[in-house]
Amino acid sequence: MDILKTEAFLRLCATLVFVLAACLDRFDNQTKFIIFFERKITFKDLKALQALAYAAFGAAGYNLLQLSRCIFFISCFHGNLSKRSYRYLAWVCYLLDQVVVYLTFATNSAAIEQSMLVVTGMKEFQWTKWCNKYTRFCFQIGGAIFCCYVACCLMAFTTFVSAFNLFRLYSPKKFLRVKNT
C-alpha cells in the first residue's frame, strides 16, 4: 500500500514538472528589432523544441492516467488485488513506463543538441549565434530542458517502483528447482 502511494507521489511530481517544461518550451518567444526588420523567434523555429513540447505534454498525460490508476487502486481495493489479475496490468505499466522514459530522454537530448548549435553557431552552415540576440529565449529554453531532465529522473524512479510492483508478483520458488533430498 505504501509503495502505491510512493508511486502516486512520484507520478504527480513528474506530471507537474513535465507540464512546467512543456509550458516553458511552448510559450517561449522573443521579438527583436534587428537592423531594418523585426524578427520573432519561437519554439517552432527549432524542430527538436517542437518535439520536446509534444513529448513532454504526452508524458504528462500518460502520468496523469497512471496517477488516476494509482488513486483508483488505493481507494477501491486498498492494496488487495489478486496476483493473477494484476500481473498483466503490471507488465503493461512497466513496459509503458520504459517507453515514456526513453522517449522523453531522447527528445530532450535532441533538443539540447540542437540548442547547443544555436548557442555556439556553425560557420560552415552559416548559422549565427541566436543567444547573443535572444538571451531571454535561450534562458527559458534552458530552463525547459533542465525541467525535462528532472522529470526524466522522476520517471526513472517511477520505473523502478513499477519494476518492483511487477517482479514481486513472481515467486522465486517457482523458478528455482530445488530438489529435496
pLDDT at 58: 95
Per-residue pLDDT, averaged over 117-141, amounts to 72
For 129, half-sphere exposure in the C-beta direction (CA atoms, 13 angstrom radius) is: 6
The answer to whether 42 touches 31, Cβ cutoff 8 Å, is no
Q: Assign 37 a pLDDT band (cuts: 50, 70, 90).
A: confident
C-alpha cell at 51: 518535439
pLDDT at 90: 87
Instruction: Tell me the C-alpha distance between 167 and 142, whole Å.
Output: 37
Task: Point out the least confidently predicted range of 44-48, 61-65, 108-112, 177-181.
Answer: 177-181
pLDDT at 126: 52
Q: For all residues of the chain together, what is the average pLDDT?
A: 83
Per-residue pLDDT, averaged over 29-55, amounts to 80
Which residues, including other chains, have CB under 8 Å from residue 17's CB and lie 6 or more apart? 147, 148, 150, 151, 154
